[in-house]
């Protein structure tokens, strides 16, 4: 079986998502907020990286950043190992509603910092929320709250539009 069959909850996330990332320090004070557009792609099961996510971030001051996350798939998990993160994602087997995906990752080169992420997709599939808990040396350092809305399931068409607009 392939990634879509083994991870049907994650497969519901395929597409383009617009959202807002809000960061809070351990005391609950907001320390950052920016807009996002994420491309969640499911490619050929035989590809070296059958899952590929690209995150486009935009801050109110005009700064932008693009982060690319190709991922391998095996053992019913998506696996990242790149210049930014090392970790994996899996579905929550005991979730009788089939809404939850969990991730664990750490920053490459910084073993003192690790993160757990929980993703909840709405039953209708058009919105999702995510929370990150950043832990450094066993202590909470940061929380990230992310709210997203599905823009399109057709990531290929939106990606082509973006490439055409870029010239």
d(CA 165, CA 10): 30
The position carrying tokens 């664990």 is 104
151: in domain: no
Q: Residues of the chain with pLDDT > 70: what percent?
A: 100
Residue 77 is predicted with a pLDDT of 97
56: in domain: yes
Q: Could you say which residues of the chain have pLDDT below 50?
A: none
- Quote the number of domains for the chain: 1
115: in domain: yes
164: in domain: no
Residue 122 is predicted with a pLDDT of 98
Residue 140 is predicted with a pLDDT of 97
d(CA 135, CA 140): 5
What CATH number should be reported for the domain holding residue 62? 2.40.128.20
**Residue 27, domain extent:** 3-142
Residue 166 is predicted with a pLDDT of 86
Do residues 42 and 14 touch, judged by C-beta distance below 8 A? yes
Q: What angle do CA 8, 10, 13 make, to 5 degrees?
A: 115
Short-list 56, 107, 45, 113, CA closest to 78: 45
165: in domain: no
d(CA 90, CA 124): 21
Residue 118 is predicted with a pLDDT of 98
d(CA 35, CA 99): 24
137 contacts: CB under 8 Å, gap ≥ 6 = 112
159: in domain: no
42: in domain: yes
Residue 143 is predicted with a pLDDT of 98
Please measure the distance between the N-terminal and C-terminal CA atoms of the chain and give it in whole angstroms. Answer: 39
Residue 95 is predicted with a pLDDT of 87
161: in domain: no
């Amino acid at each position: 079986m392939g990634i879509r069959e083994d991870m049907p909850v994650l497969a519901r996330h395929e597409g383009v998502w617009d959202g807002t990332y809000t960061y809070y320090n351990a005391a609950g004070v907001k320390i950052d907020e920016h807009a996002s557009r994420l491309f969640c792609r499911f490619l050929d099961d035989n590809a070296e990286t059958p899952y590929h996510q690209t995150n486009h971030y935009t801050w109110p001051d005009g700064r932008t950043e693009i982060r690319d996350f190709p991922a391998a798939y095996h053992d019913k998990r998506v696996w990242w190992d790149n210049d930014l993160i090392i970790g994996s994602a899996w579905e929550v087997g005991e979730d009788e509603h089939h809404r939850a995906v969990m991730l664990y990752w750490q920053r490459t080169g910084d073993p003192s910092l690790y993160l757990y992420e929980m993703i909840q997709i709405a039953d209708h599939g058009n919105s999702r929320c995510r929370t990150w808990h950043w832990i450094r040396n066993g202590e909470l350092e940061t929380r990230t709250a992310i709210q997203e809305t599905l823009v399109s399931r057709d990531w290929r068409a939106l990606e082509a539009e973006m490439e055409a607009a870029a010239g």
